Structures are given as C-alpha cells and as structure tokens.
C-alpha cells in the first residue's frame, strides 16, 4: 500500500517495458488496491473503483501482478483484488481466462520469494490465467538506487523478461 514500495516500483518498470513493446498499460497501485472494498461474496461488486478495476481486467489481453511476500505468501491487499475478480465470473472471458499473467514478487528472502511466487502462480491458475513461464523473484531490500534504477542487472532482467513474455503471449493470442 506504500507509495514507492519495491513491489510497485518493479511493476512500474515492467509496465514501461510493456509499453515500449507496444502495449497499452494501466497501473493499479497499492493505494488504489487498498481502496477496494474487502471482497464479500454476498455483496461483491460495489463502488466505482471496483467497476473500473473489473472493466480494465475484462478488457486486458495480459496482466502483470506484483506483490510483496509477507510471511511466505502474497499481501492481503493483492489477495483481495484477486478475490474481487469473482465479479468477472459471468464475463465472456471469466477471471483471467485466455490471458497471460506475469508474476513479480519482492520479498525479504529467497524462501519467502519462492513460496510467494508459487502461491501467486497457483492463484493465477485457479483464475484460469496463463502464468508466464518466467516469474520474477526479487529481494525486497536494496533493489533500487537513488535514481530509481535497479541496482542488480539480474533484477532488471527478471522484470523485463516477465513483461516481454506477457506482451508476446498477448499479441499472439489476443481475442
């Protein structure tokens, strides 16, 4: 939820790569996601923010999800947003059906990053999405220098690879 978090900065970098490859992008950052109502299956689709979010996902050919790893899993704010995709249950392309979904995780250690990435990929599968073959698992501390660039070129490569794979899949399989 923190503006300028490592997860959000990595997502912004991924979206810039996607745009350079010809994609149109829209950022739903932590502050936006934190403003979504808590998913309630008995009253799930309320408010203009939720409508904007669901409309954007329904129109997308590819999606990139970036989450911090908290205690070995995705953040509650990201999980709530993913749960809210139940609002697309009756859409012609429900949930993430037919969409490439790139996964980016930033966590305080390799074990947390790995388990969080596995969890996120499992959720994407459950929502009928196609997780990209490569998922980025980043260390949360010291990712960026003072100018906002990745400190380690391997981290930049990971994020760029996720973005390129989403755009490539989307351009080949868009409906």
CA distances from 164 to 102, 103, 106, 136, 152 (A): 9, 12, 19, 12, 19
**HEC-encoded secondary structure of 25-82:** CCCCCHHHHHCCCCCCCCCCCCCHHHHHHHHHHHHCCEEEEEEEEECCEECHHHHHHH
pLDDT computed for residue 44 by the predictor: 66
pLDDT computed for residue 146 by the predictor: 92
The DSSP call for residue 108 is S
Q: List the structure tokens of 106.
A: 């930033």
Buried b (16+ CB within 10 A) or exposed e, 44-65: beeeeebeebbeebbebbbbbb
**What tens digit of pLDDT does each residue of 107-166 get?**
988 899 999 999 999 999 999 999 999 999 998 788 999 999 999 999 999 999 999 999
pLDDT computed for residue 128 by the predictor: 97
Q: What share of the chain is helix, strand, coil (3-state, %, to 5)?
A: 45, 15, 35
167 has a pLDDT exceeding 80:
yes
Q: Which fold has domain 6-173?
A: Rossmann fold (3.40.50)
Domain extents for the chain?
6-173
Q: What are phi and psi of 57, to 5 degrees?
A: -65, -45
Q: List the structure tokens of 166.
A: 């989403």
């Amino acid at each position: 939820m923190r503006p300028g978090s490592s997860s959000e900065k990595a997502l912004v970098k991924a979206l810039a790569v996607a745009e350079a490859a010809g994609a149109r992008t829209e950022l739903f950052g932590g502050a936006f996601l934190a403003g979504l109502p808590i998913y309630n299956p008995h009253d799930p689709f309320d408010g203009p923010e939720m409508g904007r979010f669901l409309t954007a996902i329904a129109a997308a050919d590819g999606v990139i999800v970036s989450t911090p790893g908290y205690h070995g899993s995705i953040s509650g704010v990201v999980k709530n947003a993913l749960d809210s995709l139940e609002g697309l249950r009756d859409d012609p392309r429900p949930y993430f059906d037919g969409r490439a979904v790139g996964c980016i995780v930033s966590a305080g250690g390799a074990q947390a990053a790995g388990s969080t990435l596995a969890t996120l990929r499992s959720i994407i599968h459950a929502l009928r999405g196609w997780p990209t073959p490569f998922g980025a698992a980043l260390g949360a501390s010291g990712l960026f220098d003072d100018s906002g660039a990745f400190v380690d070129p391997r981290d930049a490569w990971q994020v760029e690879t996720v973005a390129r794979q989403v755009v490539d899949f989307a351009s080949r399989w868009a409906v």
